[in-house]
Every structure is written in C-alpha cells, then in structure tokens.
Structure 1
C-alpha cells in the first residue's frame, strides 16, 4: 500500500486518534468519499476486526459454504430461518388440517366424555369450513368434514376395546381400586 493510500485510509477511520482534538477530529470525519477511499476504509475495518478476533469461532469456520439453489427454491431463506430457529407449528391452515385429521382419533381417545368428543369434532369441522371460505392463497383444503355421530360411535368402540384389553390383562396390570377412588375424589374437588 502506498503512503498516499495509507494517508487516505487513516483519514477515514471511525475513531480519531486520542492526540487529535477539535479541528483535527472534524477532519477525521469523512466528507466526500471516493470509491477507492471507501474500499480502503472498509479493508481497514475488516483487518481491525480480524485483529480483534471478531471472526473467530464462526458457525461455518473451516467448512464449505452450503449450496443454495435460489432458482429452484425462491423461499430458501425462509426455510433456513425456520430450520435454524427450530420454529414449529407454522403451516398453512390446509396443511395443518391434514396433519390434525391424521391424529384426530388419538386426540379423541384422550378425551373423557362424549360431550367433549362432540365439541372437539364440531370445532374441527368449524376449522375446515373456515379454511374453505378463506380467499388467501395456499394449498387447497381437501380435508373432509367429520360426521359427529360416526366419530362418537368410533370413540365408544375404541374405548370399549381398551376396557376389554385391560380386563383381559388381569388385576396385576390394573390400578388398585383405592387409587381409582382417590383420583375420582381429586377430580370432584376440582370441579
């Protein structure tokens, strides 16, 4: 680097020297930068950051940069952000409904009363109707509405089958009667 280039780069440092005061500090502030002067200033800042160790321990240090095909996937940055930040549960409503439809029997099996099962199926159907009415883009809503009576009957069948399996397993695997009674008493006190 020539002496002239060094003088120009020194003129554009962010912090003036401790020895400079008043008018000298004003002269250290850039007024009109030429492109080559700005390139020198940027180069100086990068070298100073390297000397301070600000580029040490970067996530991809010593590894090749991942290939990003922006032509094939214009939302590559969004996918990487979701992966990096571990964001879950952010799907278009049509896809979320498909996912919820697949696990609906398991969700219903976790419910305790027929009334709550009916309410859950009705709420699921309301979500489907609302998603079909929306005019926003996205994938089409292909999730079918669930018949409440059919779902309640299936819930009763699965519950009866589970009770038969527990009865066949015998008393060794079943909860002791006292534990059931205590759990019932706790539920009654809450409600």
Structure 2
C-alpha cells in the first residue's frame, strides 16, 4: 500500500478487542459454549456458598465434646489443675445441713469485694453476717447504737420497696441486746489479751532488776529462818 507521497507502508492491524467483547462475540456465534460457561459459573457460586455455610455452621454436640476433652487434656498436661484450692475437700456451703440457694452470689460478692450490685435481700443478708465483726471494731456504745439503728432502717426501707428480686428476710436487731453482746465480746477479748500477755511475760527471762529483787527476797527468807532456828 502506497501513501500519497509514493512510499510503501505495511497495512495497519486492527486494535485488539477486549476480553469481554471476545467472549460475547464467541457466545453469539456458539450458544453451547455460553451454556457451558453459565453452568460452570453456577457450580462455582454453589461451591462458594457451601463453603461459607460450612464456616458459619455451629459445631455439633459431638464436636463440642471433642473440643472440650482436647482442651481438658491439654490443661492437665500443662498442670493447670495442680494444687488448686480445696483440692480433695468438699465444697463449702454445700455440705452443711442447710442449703442457701444464693451461696454462689454471696461468695462472689465476698471474694471480689463487690458492692452495690446485689439485690437488697442478698446484700443485707451478707451485712447481717458481718455485723458483729463490724460492731467489734467500735469503741463506744453510742457508735454501736448508731450502727444498729442504720442497719435496721435500711432493712425496713428495703421491705417497703417493691422492686422485685428475692424477699427481704433479714431480721432487725434490738439495740439494747446488741450493746450487751458487744460488751460481753469486748470483755472476753480483754480477758484473752491479758492472759496472753501474762503467758508471754512468764516466758521472758527476768531482768537484772528482777534478779536482784529475787536475790534480796531469798536472802531475807534465809535470815528469817536462821532467826527462827
């Protein structure tokens, strides 16, 4: 092919068609190829959907048991269950004659020092069990009476509120009775402290002054026996 200036040039090649155009053109010329391609796409989509469903499927009970057993075996091999508290001992609050259905809530509150999260029925019951120890930390009768009055007031207020939850069965306390019990416990502690102090003093070796005093007493006793003799 010659240009206007008389020079020969190679014929121009057509621009390459895009892949999508080639596919559409081929599908128009061969319908069976388009049908095969459609079936292949459907199968691939079905496989991807099945894989996604398999990933989202919840494990069966048998699979969960197998997973749990495997984890337990690994924990035993690592020694995670060695030297656990209460190992080989009965669980507390489950072997006594009476069973408290709220024992685990009370134990959690006491173990973690939680406050303001339990219903009044449970918090007041726990406080009632610790009230004697709280009163024993007080040094005056007036503070004991004020604490008992505050405790009784909160019990009465909790009984009036209808907010649901277990009923409030914690009894109120008589201030006069609690003062007498506080005084009795205080006297017992004082006597025990005096007895312990006396035992400790008896175990201590005598001081130099005490040895001199004992020696003078022994000398005076010998002189008195000689005069009598």
TM-score by length of structure 1 reads 0.47
* Structure of greater Rg: 2
Which protein is richer in helix relative to its size? 2
